[in-house]
């Protein structure tokens, strides 16, 4: 019953007026920066940090965290409506969310995104309350061998993520892996494909690629006249935004699957929300009875990744709070912010500072509830954004994309990169080459290389490490089964086609 006292303690802190007010401020800022393409939570959180010096530490953290998960809600909006993702994870939501808009189901897509985000976030918070110390210890058993195997599994599972030609998908994934090689090699410091540009030594910016291939490319395509049908916003009523009972029934399982995928991957300090979101989408497509619907407005393709990215941003706090080990740049920033406020996350943090820990966790849930209440009535207004004439909307979007990519490293070079990738994406669209596998390859390639090399350094060059470590071995077995199954189905198909001419 200890946990109930703790939760009560947390509630007491989180519903005090100052905590509620700054939670609201945080999630509102978060939603807003999430909607703006390319302007990420990191930029917003860095801008707000100095302001929080004057707040109580718990309240300061509640607000900064609110910006972080609030951005995940906002990120899906422009993604669904305009195919211009607000955050990198929302690029996955665009795959089916935008086709839904083109079919006139924008309201339903947004509603699904919101409700999935809420359920995903809420379940992840419960998992966090129950299992934080345990999960943290478990996460420590993941090292490079395990990460490599998870990512290999992700790459194989997601190889069919895009609709259409499988060959083109593979080609794009390989291109992504290759582009991911740009930059200095971690182990030797060798510069690869940097052409003596100092801006390329850290590789190409992820935000530039994602916003270029998805956002700028979409805007360029619309210039060519291939723009979506204008939606008669007069017809949109609340009723048309709420999914039917049948649709609700269809999304419950995807939401749950997405939540667990997201929560699991998010709790590991070495993978992050983008991998979780892609994995959730790939799993949905694998388990679907008719995978060909994906990419053409399948509602599950919105529900699962949205649940996953929100679940993963919540559980990402687990290693940060209980081990002091941040999983990505944003979490590193949150950790820095906590330290500035004199809070030292680590193994003893939960026991020594229960009010801060439980107050923060409970505030996450309150924040998620606020986001739901804030966003549902706004869906109608967001949908009306589609009625803004494109010659006004798209230049504004380009402007925000440019600011967004610039705000990551303060490099003008990144703006050229986003434009260049916009043109690349435009031609890829025209000739039917999907962008999602390229993005996935770009994200996973460098990580896989890093973990593969490190695993072999740990084992002093012995490949046994991949099957001697139990968790890695389990993933390896799944990978082997998946490959064996695809090989088996190819052989069977060929046999059939060989038999046919004889018959």
Partner 1 sequence: MKLTAALSLATALMLGAAPAMAQDFPSKPITIINPYSAGGPADLISRTLAEGVSNILGQPVVVENRTGAATAIAATAVAKAPADGYTLLIAGSPTHIIVPALQSVNYDGIADFTPVATVALVPNVLAVNKKSGITSIEQLVAKAKESDDAVSFASVGNGSLPHLSAAFFQIETETKMVHIPYKGAAPAVADLLGGNVDMGFLNAPPLMPHFESGDLIALGVASPKRSAKLPDVPTMEELGFNGFEMSTWYGISAPAGTPDDVVAILTDAFGKALAKPEIAERLAERGVEVNYMDNQGFAALLARDSDRMLGLIESAGLVKQ
Candidates 336, 427, 430, 484: give the one binding partner 1 (CB under 8 A). 336
Interacting stretch for partner 1, rule CB under 8 A, among 193-201, 252-260, 431-439, 489-497? 193-201
Q: State the angle between helix axes of 390-409 and 41-52 in degrees (0 to 180), rounded to the nearest 10.
A: 60
Residue 30 found at the interface with partner 1 (CB under 8 A): no
Distance CA 74, CA 77 (A): 6
> In terms of DSSP H, where are the helices of 15-82?
17-35, 41-52, 57-82
Cβ within 8 Å of residue 309, ≥6 positions away: 72, 75, 89, 90, 92, 117, 120, 262, 273, 276, 277, 280
Residue 409 found at the interface with partner 1 (CB under 8 A): yes
Name residue, tokens 């211009």.
84
Minimum CB–partner distance for residue 282 and partner 1 (Å): 25
Minimum CB–partner distance for residue 425 and partner 1 (Å): 24
Structure token digits, residue 213: 């291939």
Query: x/- site string to partner 1, residues 261 to 290, per CB under 8 A?
Result: --------xx--------------------
Residue 144 found at the interface with partner 1 (CB under 8 A): yes
Element (H, E) at 132: helix 106-140
Structure token digits, residue 475: 């993933």
Minimum CB–partner distance for residue 332 and partner 1 (Å): 6
Among residues 322, 326, 281, 272, which one has the least CA distance to residue 96? 281
Residue 319 found at the interface with partner 1 (CB under 8 A): yes
Name residue, tokens 């009560």.
8
Residue 454 found at the interface with partner 1 (CB under 8 A): yes
Q: State the angle between helix axes of 90-102 and 57-82 in degrees (0 to 180), rounded to the nearest 10.
A: 40
Terminal-to-terminal C-alpha distance of the chain: 71
Minimum CB–partner distance for residue 349 and partner 1 (Å): 7
Ramachandran assignment for 295, one of left (phi > 0), alpha (psi -120 to 50 degrees), beta (any other)? left
Query: x/- site string to partner 1, residues 155 to 184, per CB under 8 A?
Result: -----------------------------x
Instruction: Give the nearer residue to partner 1 in terms of CB position, either 372 or 456.
Output: 456
Q: How many residues bind partner 1 (CB under 8 A)?
A: 53
Residue 196 found at the interface with partner 1 (CB under 8 A): yes
Residue 140 found at the interface with partner 1 (CB under 8 A): yes
Residue 232 found at the interface with partner 1 (CB under 8 A): no
Provide the binding-site residues for partner 1, judged by CB under 8 A. 42, 46, 49-50, 140-144, 184, 186-191, 196, 198-199, 201-202, 269-270, 319, 323-327, 329, 332-337, 339-340, 342, 344-349, 409-411, 450, 454, 457-458, 460
């Amino acid at each position: 019953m200890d946990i109930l006292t703790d939760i009560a303690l947390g509630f007491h802190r989180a519903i005090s007026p100052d905590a509620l007010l700054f939670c609201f401020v945080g999630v509102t800022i978060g939603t807003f920066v999430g909607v703006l393409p390319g302007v990420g939570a990191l930029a917003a959180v860095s801008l707000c940090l100095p302001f929080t010096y004057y707040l109580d530490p718990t309240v300061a953290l509640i607000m900064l965290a609110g910006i972080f998960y609030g951005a995940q809600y906002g990120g899906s909006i422009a993604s669904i409506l305009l195919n211009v993702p607000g955050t990198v994870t929302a690029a996955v939501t665009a795959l089916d969310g935008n086709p839904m808009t083109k079919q006139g189901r924008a309201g339903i897509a947004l509603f699904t995104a919101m409700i999935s985000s809420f359920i995903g976030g809420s379940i992840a918070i419960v998992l966090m309350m129950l299992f934080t110390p345990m999960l943290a210890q478990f996460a420590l058993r993941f090292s490079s061998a395990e990460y490599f195997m998870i990512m290999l599994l992700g790459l194989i599972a997601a190889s069919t993520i895009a609709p259409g030609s499988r060959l083109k998908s593979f080609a794009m994934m390989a291109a992504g892996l290759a582009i991911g090689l740009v930059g200095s090699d971690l182990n030797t410091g060798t510069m690869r494909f940097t052409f003596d540009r100092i801006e390329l030594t850290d590789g190409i910016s992820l935000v530039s690629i994602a916003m270029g291939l998805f956002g700028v490319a979409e805007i360029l395509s619309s210039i060519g006249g291939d723009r979506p049908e204008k939606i008669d916003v007069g017809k949109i009523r609340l009723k048309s935004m709420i999914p039917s009972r049948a649709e609700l029934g269809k999304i419950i399982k995807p939401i749950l699957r997405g939540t667990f995928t997201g929560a699991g991957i998010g709790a590991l300090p070495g993978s992050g929300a983008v991998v979780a979101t892609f994995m959730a989408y790939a799993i949905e497509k694998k388990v679907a009875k008719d995978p060909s619907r994906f990419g053409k407005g399948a509602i599950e393709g919105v529900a699962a990744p949205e649940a996953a990215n929100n679940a993963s941003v919540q559980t990402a706090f687990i290693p940060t709070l209980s081990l002091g080990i941040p999983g990505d740049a944003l979490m590193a920033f949150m950790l820095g912010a906590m330290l500035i406020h004199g809070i030292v996350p680590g193994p003893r943090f939960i026991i020594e500072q229960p009010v801060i820990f439980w107050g923060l966790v409970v505030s996450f849930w309150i924040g998620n509830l606020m986001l739901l209440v804030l966003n549902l009535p706004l869906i109608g207004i967001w949908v009306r954004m589609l009625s803004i004439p494109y010659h006004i909307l798209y230049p504004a979007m380009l402007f925000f994309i440019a600011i967004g990519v610039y705000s990551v490293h303060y490099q003008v070079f990144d703006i050229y990169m986003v434009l260049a990738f916009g043109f690349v994406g435009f031609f890829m669209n025209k000739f039917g080459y999907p962008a999602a596998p390229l993005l996935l390859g770009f994200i996973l390639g460098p990580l896989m290389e890093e973990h593969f090399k490190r695993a072999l350094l740990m084992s002093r060059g012995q490949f046994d490490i991949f099957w001697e470590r139990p968790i890695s071995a389990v993933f390896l077995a799944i990978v082997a089964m998946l490959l064996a199954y695809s090989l088996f189905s190819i052989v069977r198909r060929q046999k059939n086609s060989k038999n046919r001419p004889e018959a």
